[in-house]
Structure 1
Amino acid sequence: MSDPARLFDRGLLRQRRDRHAGVHARHDFLFAHSAEEIAGRLQAILHDFPLALDLGAHQGRHGRGIADNPKIGQVIYGELSEKLARACPRPAVVCDEERLPFADDSLDLVVSGLALHHVNDLPGALIQIRRALKPDGLVMASLLGTRSLEELREVLIVAEAEEQGGASPRIAPFPDIREAGALLQRAGFALPVTDTETLTVSYESLADLLNEIRGMGAANVLNERRRTPLLRRTLRRAENIYRERFSLPDGRIKASFEIIYLSGWAPAPTQQKPLKPGSAKQRLSDALQTEEKPAGEKAGFHSPSEES
């Protein structure tokens, strides 16, 4: 029996990444987009990072994206798959995002692109990252959010239920943006920031979409997955449902990928902190040049029910 607390089969994930390492570069458009976004955000930060880690590097898109930044020193590439790690620049290490091999207070920056949504203990992984960072070190990461592949999830559930009498889990339960922000705080990061974007991508067919997912090394690795492949009649039915519900005017089908970006700083005494309640030296009403009224008094506002 699988451990219900462990959603993902990490050994299978490593095998999938190894198996598709040779074609990953043909299916890395999401990684390229995320890498460009994170590199741009780092350009705006006035801070030096002598030692950086690209965690879950795949073929090193994110590390390469920040390597030319003059504020970045040495970049280390850490990847679960040995074959993908070989495609990264040096130095590269084979490492698991769930068990980081880095000493406490050893890194200045950790970037991670579209890897952390496949760890079983995301709070624990973030805590390990925070411990590996020096005080005032920064983590900047992207991961898939809950809207990712929502069309495919719906189609497969309906088709498998119709054709095989029941549906099995095939799309991972990705986090939403509120969960991601809360996890940063739970992990002890200061000044946490999260935001999200959704990319809509079109494909000629369901087969093309599934091939893209496999090429990313991101096919189903849920521990509770059905061990047998989908039947051909189920795939045909899924294709028909997909075109009925999610086709585009040009006849292609659409797929959504939500990317959540998160960042946080390892606590340091020099960081800005919020003021204590009651410590303000000026009243808000003075700054706004308005009249301050006690709670309960109306201040020129009324609801529609108060109109005569």
Structure 2
Amino acid sequence: MTVPVIFNRKLVRYHRDRAALHHQTIQDIVQICADRIVDRLDDIQRSFMNVLEIGGRGVIAPMLQSKGMNVVSADLSHRLVSLNSVPSVCMDEEYFPFQAHSFDLVIANFNLHWVNDLPGTLLQIRKILRPDGLFLATVPILPTLSMLRHIMAEEEVELCGRVFPRISPFPDLRACATLMQRAGFALPVVDKEALPLVYRSAMMLMQDLRFSGETNALMEQQETFTSRSFMASCMAKLQEQGELSVPLHFAVLTGWGPDSSQSQPLQPGQFSVSLEDALKN
């Protein structure tokens, strides 16, 4: 099957390389998100030793290492992965260079939304997990940046007569759940969290997007330079909102490598209690 090429991966790497130079600017946001995903491990009553951490920006790897785990850090950007003090691999998340059953824990933090073949990437992650190994990931979802998306589209229609893609197409919660099931993870769970973010100005929002490596890397982007009138009009419309509330909505994906020791769903006809009786009780 031909995989649609949505993102320019060279441009994604360039943006992440540039973000490494400004990582201290958004460190507070990165730390809060890292704390939330690592806190999930404290709710799981088992230990993990060999861990692959993807996209942690030098924050998650030392947190895992402090828990006694052997951590390998990976990222598309050599500069970002070099922020870690643990063994690191610069790699493309679409082509994993690891053998099957290499890790008992894989954590991916806010980087899978730039992958073209996300089903294929999730399948590769499942294969490098050991049986009963854990996969934990965060992915931005709708309605993140919905206000910015709406204003840009509105202004572009007025100025150009059409809409050029400028913001990454985020999935919704249901799409994330479907992807986890499609990849074959056992006991998949997908839930939603939100991080409230408020900006005094539209320019500060744009700066954070740039410094975090989250600017436009779509293949179908406008080939000419963005006009000053367009950006000025968008900034003016955003400023009319006063303080900008731009919450980061994200899904937390949890799944396990299939293993015979895990609980298995009963087959049709194997139930001892009917749904009607269960609801009555």
Q: What TM bracket, shorter-length normalisation?
A: over 0.9
Mapped partners of 2:267, 2:107: distance in 1: 32
Q: Is 2:111 aligned against 1:115?
A: yes
TM-aligned CA deviation for residue 201 of structure 1:
1.5
Q: Give the structure 2 partner of residue 253 of structure 1.
A: 244
Which TM-score applies when normalising by structure 2? 0.93
Distance in 2 between residues matched to 1:287 and 1:186, nearest whole Å:
30
Deviations 1:155-181 (A, max 9, x none): 111122223333210011111111111
Q: Which residue of 1 aligns with 2:32?
A: 33
Which amino acid is 1:111 matched to?
A: I
Once superposed, what is the RMSD of the aligned Cα atoms? 2.0
- The alignment partner of 1:16 has SS state of helix
Report matched runs for 1:114-133 at 5 Å. Answer: 114-133=110-129
Call closer, same or farther: CA 1:283–1:156 in 2, change over 3 Å: closer
- Residue 53 of structure 2 contacts residue 74 of structure 2 at CA under 8 Å; is this kept in 1? yes
Distance, in Å, in 1 between the alignment partners of 2:203 and 2:245 is 13
Distance 1:267 1:88, change over 3 A: same
Cα distance between partner residues in 2 of 1:9 and 1:284 = 49
* 2:276 is the counterpart of 1:278: no
Structure 1 pair 287–259 and aligned structure 2 pair: CA distance change class (3 A) = closer
Equivalent position of 1:11 in the other structure: 10
Query: Is 265-274 or 31-40 further displaced after alignment?
Result: 31-40
> Any residues of structure 2 matched to 1:85-100 within 5 Å, and which?
85-100=81-96
Task: For residues 12-46 of structure 1, give each alpha carbon's deviation from its aligned partner in whole angstroms, at most 9, with x where no partner exists.
Answer: 11111112311122124443222111111101111
- Structure 1 residue 257 displacement after superposition: 1.6
2:166 maps to amino acid: R
Aligned counterparts, 1:1-308, within 5 A? 5-57=4-56, 59-70=57-68, 73-244=69-240, 247=241, 251-282=242-273
Matched residues, number = 280
Structure 2 residues not aligned, in runs of 5+? none
In structure 2, the CA distance between the partners of 1:233 and 1:75, relative to structure 1 (3 Å rule), is same
For 1:302, the equivalent position in structure 2 comes to none
Alpha carbons 2:61, 2:86 under 8 Å: kept: no
Report SS of the residue matched to 1:108.
strand
Cα distance in 2 for residues equivalent to 1:52 and 1:253: 38
Distance 2:220 2:276 in 1: 57
Q: Secondary structure at the match of 2:196?
A: strand
User: Partners in 2 of 1:110 and 1:258 — Cα distance?
Assistant: 22
Counterpart CA distance in 1 for 2:154 and 2:199 is 20
C-alpha change, 1:4 and 1:162, in structure 2 (3 Å) is farther
- Specify whether residues 275 and 201 from structure 1 end up closer, same or farther in structure 2 by C-alpha distance, changes over 3 A only: same
Moved more, 254-263 or 24-33: 24-33
- Alpha-carbon separation, structure 2, partners of 1:288 and 1:203: 47
Between the aligned residues of both structures, percent identity stands at 37
1:131 Cα deviation (Å)?
0.4
Residues 167-198 of structure 1, C-alpha deviations (whole Å, 9 max, x = no match): 21001111111111111111010000001123
Superposed CA deviations along residues 249-274 of structure 1, whole A, max 9, x for unmatched, are xx312223211110100100100111
Aligned partner letter, 2:13? R
Q: CA deviation at 1:53?
A: 0.6
Instruction: State the Cα distance separating 1:289 from its structure 2 match.
Output: 6.8
Shift in Å, 1:284: 6.1
- Matched-pair contact (CA < 8 Å) for 1:28–1:216: no
TM-score (norm 1): 0.85
Please tell me whether the aligned partners of residues 159 and 238 of structure 1 are also in contact (alpha carbons under 8 angstroms). Answer: yes
Contact 2:55 2:81 in 1 (8 A): no
Shift in CA distance, 194/285, structure 1 to aligned 2, threshold 3 Å: closer
CA distance in 2, matches of 1:76, 1:4: 28
2:144–2:247 CA contact under 8 A, matched in 1? yes
For residues 193-221 of structure 1, what are the alpha-carbon distances to aligned partners after superposition, in whole Å with 9 as ceiling and x for unaligned?
Answer: 00112333121222111111000011100
Give 3-state SS (helix, strand or coil) of 1:46's partner: coil
Q: CA–CA distance in 1 between the matches of 2:3 and 2:268?
A: 43
